[in-house]
Structure 1
Amino acid sequence: MSDSLQIDQGTLVNAWQQQLPEYLNAGDSARVLADQGDPQGLRIHINAAGHQFYSFDFACSYLDSREVRVSLVDVERGGDHIDESGEIVQEMARDYSRHLHECAQALHRITDT
């Protein structure tokens, strides 16, 4: 029996789009898209709530039916690319990465069949 992901990408995107808001901070918004270069991957864009106008782009790839790898791709502030090494940005990125892992765990009901 293979432990590879047995769900189509469109269904996965829709499931994430519905589930993810439950794991984000109040006022945050997210957009989940299929990763065109990875049939088992997603691209997730998160707009952080508040007056800082931060947005984060993550790549989320399923390693198998239960485990995901989350990578920070880009951070913007007010539409401009910014240095991702600042402490505030790193803390926010870690927080969002944790939320993405929590969302993936909640979706085991559809990915781990």
Structure 2
Amino acid sequence: MVSNDELNVPQEDLVQAWQQTLPERLHGGDQAEIMLDEADPNALRVHIRTAGHQMMEFDFAVRYVDSREIAIQLTDVERDGQTIDERGEIVQELIADYRRHLHETAQALHHYTHS
């Protein structure tokens, strides 16, 4: 199903909205940084640092398929600054958790992105 429901929000405004909304959905102490994707005006780059002793960092590309739906791609996982294999069970659980938080953030911003 193809949608003609395009995203019509300036990318800088979208970054700001995500920067305000995503941290509310993360676990206490986790930190998120939202950046523009300069190659794609409908996409954002999301960098999440886990709280606690794990010292893990996750990078996601979040692309708006239309004004409501996002596609998420994991681009990197690091521990102590070193890229790690993301196939481990604990890492997979964290990835699933963060993907859910990204979808929740997009849902929370429907009023903003879907005009």
Tell me, yes or no, whether TM beats 0.5.
yes
Q: Number of aligned pairs?
A: 113
**In the alignment, which residue of structure 1 is the partner of 2:75?**
73
**In the alignment, which residue of structure 1 is the partner of 2:99?**
97
Alignment of 1:10-49 (within 5 A): 10-49=12-51
Q: Could you say what secondary structure the match of 1:105 adopts?
A: helix
Q: Could you say what secondary structure the match of 1:59 adopts?
A: strand
**In the alignment, which residue of structure 1 is the partner of 2:60?**
58
Q: Could you say what secondary structure the match of 1:37 adopts?
A: coil
Tell me the percent identity.
Answer: 57
Match of 2:6 among 4, 11, 16: 4
CA distance in structure 2 between the aligned counterparts of 1:37 and 1:91, rounded to whole angstroms: 29
TM-score, reference length from structure 2: 0.96
Which residue type is aligned with residue 76 of structure 1? E
| Displacement of 1:7 | 0.4
TM-score, reference length from structure 1: 0.97
CA distance in structure 2 between the aligned counterparts of 1:108 and 1:29, rounded to whole angstroms: 23
Q: Could you say what secondary structure the match of 2:53 adopts?
A: coil
CA distance in structure 1 between the aligned counterparts of 2:53 and 2:11, rounded to whole angstroms: 34
Q: Structure 1: 5+ residue runs without aligned partners? A: none
Q: Could you say what secondary structure the match of 1:101 adopts?
A: helix
| Displacement of 1:75 | 0.2
- Give the root-mean-square deviation of aligned CA atoms: 1.1
